[in-house]
Amino acid sequence: MESANRVILVTGGCGFIGSNYVRHLLAASPDTRVVVLDKLTYAGHRPNLDKEEKGGRCEVVVGDIADAKLVESLLEKHQPGSIINFAAESHVDRSIDEPAPFLHTNVTGTFTLLEAARKHMAATKEKASGTFRFIHLSTDEVHGSLEPSDPPFSERSTFAPNSPYAASKAAADHLCRAYFRTYGLPTVVLRPSNNFGPYQFPEKLIPLAILRALAGERIPVYGDGKQVRDWLYVEDTALAVEAARLKGGLGEPYQVGADAEKDNRTVLLAICQILDRMRPRPNGKPHADLMETVTDRPGHDRRYATDASKFRKHTGWAAKTSFEAGLEKTVRWYLENPGWCEAVRAKGYTGERLGLTRR
């Protein structure tokens, strides 16, 4: 049995945000061990944590967070000091095509983790140090869409999810609240805005655009491209998770954002301009020529914006990386890691459902 204060259970730790958090945690906390539970679906890429596994302080367990026996056995064996739940089906387009996996992972899976944590806390309450936390990563999408003149989402904003993905995350948020209110489980819910950065699977806007541009393929623009998001660099999210684990209020939900609202077309043009500078096209034409309008998806939220003032006040966290600096880092990372890009592209999502073809 290991010291609870030295072991953190991270679910979904081989994914985009999860793996960035694991790397940050291990670098910042030399005495900490991490146990990662990951189903290794298309978006979970074990090589993301190759270095950390080889270093001996990170163990990857392949499995489903909805497998109660597995989760309970991990809690019994490792006695973690905290559980950080990144595990989720997270792509809106996929939730429209096939909602069932989103309900399984995001709702049933979160319930399974909460219930196992509740039993674990009850069995070890005499030994508990009071520092145990259940950190759940949600999304600002649970609140639905904002009009251009609306104030940003806050913790008091109503829930109005517009996709199966957002609805499943909203349900998980409610479960976390209920387990705190009913059982006293020390939950903290984070609702970050749109993340971007290294290791993001190329179904999301920024990496999809980068990799399609590099391949000389069309870059999809949904509808008029004026959908607005608050963009948050993933390393700042990793810092936010640690701030929540160490300083977050029990039972509290927190909005996490960088006050960096940009519409999709502006983001895509910025990517194209960076690529024009870093990796010009062989024909000399601008990468923006590859941008092409496609039919907007059903239930596409028009605007997200996030008021993170409560989180900043409670924890002292603040985003450190500007959108412009983060985008430069992101494009450069994809340019410098073609092997990773090819490996994840082979998993099968490069915009096929949009009817895009190479040219």
Domain spans of the chain, in order of start? 4-201+234-258+300-320
- Is 165 tagged catalytic? yes
pLDDT at residue number 301: 87
Of the candidates 18, 22, 72, 73, the one whose C-alpha atom is nearest the C-alpha of residue 41 is 18
pLDDT in tens, 91-139: 787 888 899 999 999 999 999 999 999 999 988 764 555 889 999 999 9
Q: How far apart are CA 325 and CA 322, in angstroms?
A: 5
**Angle, CA 185 vertex, CA 187 and CA 194 arms, to 5°:** 15
pLDDT bin (cut points 50, 70, 90) of residue 155 is: very high
- Is 98 tagged catalytic? no
Classify 109 as helix, strand or coil. Answer: helix
Q: Which of 21, 52, 165, 230 is catalytic?
A: 165
Choose the weakest-confidence range: 92-101, 304-313, 330-339: 92-101
pLDDT at residue number 40: 94
pLDDT bin (cut points 50, 70, 90) of residue 295 is: confident
Alpha-carbon dihedral sign for residues 162, 163, 164, 166: negative
- Is 140 tagged catalytic? yes
Mean pLDDT throughout 137-143? Answer: 96
Cβ proximity of 248 and 84 under 8 Å: no
Q: Which of 52, 89, 140, 307 is catalytic?
A: 140
pLDDT in tens, 177-213: 999 999 999 999 999 999 999 999 988 899 999 999 9
Q: What is the DSSP string of 67-93?
A: -HHHHHHHHHHH--SEEEE------HH
In words, the CATH class of domain 4-201+234-258+300-320 is: alpha beta
Q: Indicate yes or no: pTM above 0.75.
A: yes
pLDDT at residue number 35: 98
Q: How far apart are CA 50 and CA 55, in angstroms?
A: 9
pLDDT bin (cut points 50, 70, 90) of residue 344 is: confident
Q: Which of 38, 64, 141, 173 is catalytic?
A: 141
pLDDT at residue number 126: 41
Please compute, for residue 222, the number of CA atoms within 13 A of its CA located in the half-sphere on the CB side.
Answer: 20
Mean pLDDT throughout 234-247? Answer: 98
